[in-house]
A and B are shown apart, each in its own frame.
Chain A
């Protein structure tokens, strides 16, 4: 060991020196834009949060670690999918770390929890996944933006697909909680045929065999389902094993790149609706998908793509205000302009700061390299605004 041994006096002196030096360090770093990146990184849904975090980091990598010309510093916050934990950690990021933006959030209940703590401090909150209806209508806020969608739009897009395909009898299978009931309602907002049966299953359900038998007995033209995460893995594999795959599988948040590694062949040909798919043919997207896969060695899902767009959005806005984050009104206008090239192609914000965008019917396919991904089949809704935008009276920042 060559480390010089310090006595206590020296240690104190060193500590004091650091203490004195600290303000300088802080001033030097004040040039950095601080981002609090909120994602669920532990627990069963961690795969989604990992996608979200990696997508944002990939965006920064393409921007050489800078946002609008200023160095970016990311503080990753694991919300543990617990609203109280999320609030505590986000408050700490706001008060102790003085973050300039809070970005991310996979689940709506976490967004609901951190919404007021963030926006009340006049800090911009950019959701890159959670798209609760609460903040799209009357609850819209000048400090809140989302680069994803409003949940209702995705389910409605699937309803439109069922309508377009001419299905007469559809069987609905959703989990028995708020988002599940919203999914069924969103689907029915555009599907005008007969709903043969609606089955609500507990969120902890593992085995779908009883419901699959019901589906087989009802013989519908198609199934509509919303089974996020592990629920979807179980359903998809059991659906295939029960020989029901000849009944079209229309789904939202059930088959995507976060669950496909576990669903594999069982999901081949299954349908889902989304504003983005890895195979979208534009330059920005090709670059994103190629470099993301090279970096992280898995196929990105919407969580990653929307976060990548989030990084690009921040970059464009900070550039527009020349790095001056103090003028909130100017910064807000710069964010509203959404002057960046989205991996989705079309992208702009509506008056409620939710995207107005296209929704696609996507199908699960196997790529030549053996990995699975969703591929855009056709555009279902064009320049679609969410159904709540009319109720939003955006107040000035």
Chain B
């Protein structure tokens, strides 16, 4: 592998990780603060993408689509919270998993009724069109650099909100010991709603950002959801910092693994089985990593809960 190719692959991994972070950040907040397993987080990502794509088509502008999709995603999250999730906070995890899984099925079919079964597309904004030649023959799309920038900015904003504001302090306190926070007179329900709406908006933001490079279709949130769970398990449930580091780790390992594993396997195997075995092992790597964390460091990279 040439140095340029390695650089490009590292950049690919970074960008994939950033996208994962945007999905996982909301999930880890909701799971960490509210102890609520929200499988429907992936469909909120999907809704964001659908809102973005259809609003961009309606207004003729990516930026307007993005701007309008955020409140739409927030609203959708709040409606879901009010209708469904609010009634599940006091239930056990199994009830939460069942109900939010139902929401996945419901909304995956719902978007099909509204937008049809065929995938949609969202154009790349003119400002971020084109690419930079990082290696001969390959244009690295500027839009992907834009995703990296937007993700880093979001991470910075989240750090500020969680570490430097009063609401953030409550969120951290809520993640560590919710009973105590409640006993101190904080309206924990309102805090939950706030966190939940914000998480939904983050997922929606990730969906809009992904829409120009990925196909917007029913069920598009299911794969990122699984990876987001991997990320928050590795990072430590409830920790934004953990989600950030773990998302980058997962993105890099997944991408570099897929780039290098088939070549590595060729050292031991004939070319054809090496390619297939390499591809299979590469797609397992992040789950192996998660299993290792669960075995040796179950609280994750940055544990939050005091237990």
Contact present for B213 and A234 (CB under 8 Å): yes
Given known pairs A207-B12, A237-B121, the reply for A216 and B138 (CB within 8 Å) is: yes
Closest to B131 in A: A243
Q: Which of A42, A47, A176 makes the CB contact (< 8 A) with B276?
A: A176
Q: Which of A43, A198, A234, A298 makes the CB contact (< 8 A) with B214?
A: A234
Nearest CB of B to A39, in Å = 11
Q: Give 11 A-B pairs besides A241-B139, A244-B137 with Cβ atoms closer than 8 angstroms.
A: A50-B118, A207-B19, A207-B214, A209-B16, A210-B258, A234-B214, A242-B139, A243-B137, A261-B121, A262-B120, A298-B118
A345 at the B interface (CB under 8 A) = no
Nearest CB of A to B253, in Å = 12
Given known pairs A42-B112, A241-B124, A262-B216, the reply for A210 and B117 (CB within 8 Å) is: no
A259 at the B interface (CB under 8 A) = yes
Q: Which of B267-282 contact A (CB under 8 A)?
A: 272, 275-276, 279-280
A212 at the B interface (CB under 8 A) = yes
Contact present for A209 and B144 (CB under 8 Å): yes
Nearest CB of B to A132, in Å = 21
B188 at the A interface (CB under 8 A) = no
Chain B residues lying within 8 Å of A209, measured Cβ to Cβ, are 12, 15-16, 144, 255
- Which of B2-10, B169-177, B189-197 interfaces with chain A? B2-10
The contact sample of 25 A-B pairs, CB cut-off 8 A, is A46-B218, A50-B117, A176-B283, A181-B276, A197-B275, A198-B275, A200-B279, A202-B279, A204-B223, A207-B16, A210-B9, A210-B256, A213-B135, A214-B259, A217-B2, A233-B121, A233-B215, A237-B212, A238-B213, A241-B213, A242-B141, A244-B138, A261-B119, A261-B121, A264-B121
Q: Which of A207-251 contact B (CB under 8 A)?
A: 207, 209-214, 216-217, 219, 230, 233-234, 237-238, 241-244
Q: How far is the CA of A206 from the CA of B215 in the complex (A)?
A: 8
A199 at the B interface (CB under 8 A) = yes
Nearest CB of B to A197, in Å = 8
Chain B residues lying within 8 Å of A237, measured Cβ to Cβ, are 121, 212-213, 215
Contact present for B276 and A200 (CB under 8 Å): yes
A392 at the B interface (CB under 8 A) = no
Q: How many A-B residue pairs have CB under 8 A?
A: 137
**Which residue, of A210, A262, A298, has the highest number of chain B Cβ atoms within 10 A?**
A210
Chain A residues lying within 8 Å of B144, measured Cβ to Cβ, are 209
The 4 closest A-B pairs by CB, nearest first: A243-B139, A233-B215, A216-B138, A46-B117
> Which residues of A are at the interface with B, using a C-beta cutoff of 8 A?
41-44, 46-47, 49-50, 176, 181, 197-202, 204, 206-207, 209-214, 216-217, 219, 230, 233-234, 237-238, 241-244, 258-259, 261-264, 298
Contact present for A261 and B118 (CB under 8 Å): yes
B109 at the A interface (CB under 8 A) = yes
B262 at the A interface (CB under 8 A) = yes
Nearest CB of A to B23, in Å = 12
Chain A residues lying within 8 Å of B293, measured Cβ to Cβ, are none
Chain A residues lying within 8 Å of B124, measured Cβ to Cβ, are 241
Q: Which of B185-214 contact A (CB under 8 A)?
A: 212-214
Closest to B262 in A: A199
Q: How far is the CA of A198 from the CA of B121 in the complex (A)?
A: 29
Question: Interface size on B (CB < 8 Å)?
Answer: 52
Q: Which of B133, B212, B280 makes the CB contact (< 8 A) with A176?
A: B280
**Which residue, of B119, B256, B259, B272, has the highest number of chain A Cβ atoms within 10 A?**
B119
Nearest CB of B to A397, in Å = 37
Given known pairs A204-B223, A213-B9, A242-B131, the reply for A262 and B258 (CB within 8 Å) is: no
> Which residues of B are at the interface with A, using a C-beta cutoff of 8 A?
2, 5, 8-9, 12-13, 15-16, 19, 108-109, 112, 116-121, 124, 131, 133, 135-141, 143-144, 212-220, 223-224, 255-256, 258-259, 262, 272, 275-276, 279-280, 283
Nearest CB of A to B230, in Å = 13
Chain A residues lying within 8 Å of B280, measured Cβ to Cβ, are 176, 200
Q: How far is the CA of A233 from the CA of B122 in the complex (A)?
A: 12
Chain B residues lying within 8 Å of A213, measured Cβ to Cβ, are 5, 8-9, 12, 135, 138, 259
Q: Which of B131, B224, B259 makes the CB contact (< 8 A) with A210?
A: B259
Chain B residues lying within 8 Å of A214, measured Cβ to Cβ, are 5, 259
Contact present for B224 and A206 (CB under 8 Å): yes
Chain B residues lying within 8 Å of A206, measured Cβ to Cβ, are 214, 223-224
Contact present for B135 and A217 (CB under 8 Å): yes
Contact present for A233 and B119 (CB under 8 Å): yes
Chain A residues lying within 8 Å of B112, measured Cβ to Cβ, are 42, 46
Q: Which of A199, A216, A234 makes the CB contact (< 8 A) with B279?
A: A199
Contact present for B141 and A241 (CB under 8 Å): yes
Chain B residues lying within 8 Å of A47, measured Cβ to Cβ, are 116-119
